[in-house]
């Protein structure tokens, strides 16, 4: 995995990148249920789902989020670190066999209130399925060093 210093000044508002895609398989849901202990029938009980509105098993929100975020892991930036997410919203269900990818847009930049040598960069994530529908959004918060600080 490549390492590349990418400073606060290097992020440009409106810059965008698109990740590769990953199909959310039944196996992914089984493994995620196992990892989290979330055995809600919405995810692990096909029979129960058939008898309810959505009709079929859906991916855990945390699975869609984890994969959608994981797809953005491309290079190591030693002068930034992730400190959180805001406004994470489940927009549409993800079904077995759906393929998701993530579009990352630099949506905000601001100085850090206390540390003059740092800034906050917001990456807006849209997780999108194979039909072009947005299934989840979130704002990723990066604390970045300033180049000339």
Q: Which residues pair with 71 in a beta bridge?
A: none
Q: Which stretch binds its own copies (CB under 8 A): 5-13, 29-37, 107-115, 117-125?
A: 29-37
Residue from 4, 5, 13, 39 in contact with its own copies (CB under 8 A): 39
Tell me which H or E stretch contains 73.
Answer: none
What is the distance between the alpha carbons of residues 45 and 140, in angstroms, rounded to a whole number? Answer: 32
Residue from 4, 5, 13, 76 in contact with its own copies (CB under 8 A): 76
What is the distance between the alpha carbons of residues 53 and 41, in angstroms, rounded to a whole number? Answer: 13
**Quick check: 67 binds its own copies (CB under 8 A)?**
yes
**Quick check: 93 binds its own copies (CB under 8 A)?**
no
**Quick check: 34 binds its own copies (CB under 8 A)?**
yes
Residue from 4, 84, 111, 133 in contact with its own copies (CB under 8 A): 84
Residue from 11, 59, 65, 125 in contact with its own copies (CB under 8 A): 65
**Quick check: 103 binds its own copies (CB under 8 A)?**
no
What is the distance between the alpha carbons of residues 33 and 127, in angstroms, rounded to a whole number? Answer: 21
Number of residues that bind its own copies (CB under 8 A): 52
What is the distance between the alpha carbons of residues 124 and 37, in angstroms, rounded to a whole number? Answer: 29
Q: Token pair for residue 125?
A: 């994530």
CB burial of residue 77 (10 Å; 0-12, 13-18, 19+): middle
Residues that bind its own copies (CB under 8 A): 1, 19-23, 25-28, 30-41, 44-48, 57, 60-63, 65-67, 69-71, 73, 76, 82-90, 97, 99, 130
């Amino acid at each position: 995995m490549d390492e590349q210093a990418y400073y606060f000044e290097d992020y440009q508002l409106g810059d965008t990148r698109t990740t590769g895609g990953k199909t959310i398989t039944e196996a992914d849901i089984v493994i995620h249920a196992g990892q989290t202990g979330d055995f809600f029938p919405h995810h692990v009980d096909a029979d129960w789902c058939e008898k309810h509105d959505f009709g079929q098993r859906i991916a855990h929100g945390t699975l869609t989020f984890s994969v959608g975020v994981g797809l953005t892991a491309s290079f190591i930036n030693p002068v930034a670190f992730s400190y959180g997410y805001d406004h994470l919203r489940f927009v549409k269900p993800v079904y077995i066999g759906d393929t998701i990818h993530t579009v990352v847009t630099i949506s905000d930049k601001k100085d850090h209130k206390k540390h003059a040598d740092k800034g906050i960069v917001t990456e807006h994530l849209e997780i999108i399925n194979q039909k072009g529908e947005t299934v989840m959004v979130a704002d990723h918060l990066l604390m970045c060093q300033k180049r000339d600080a």
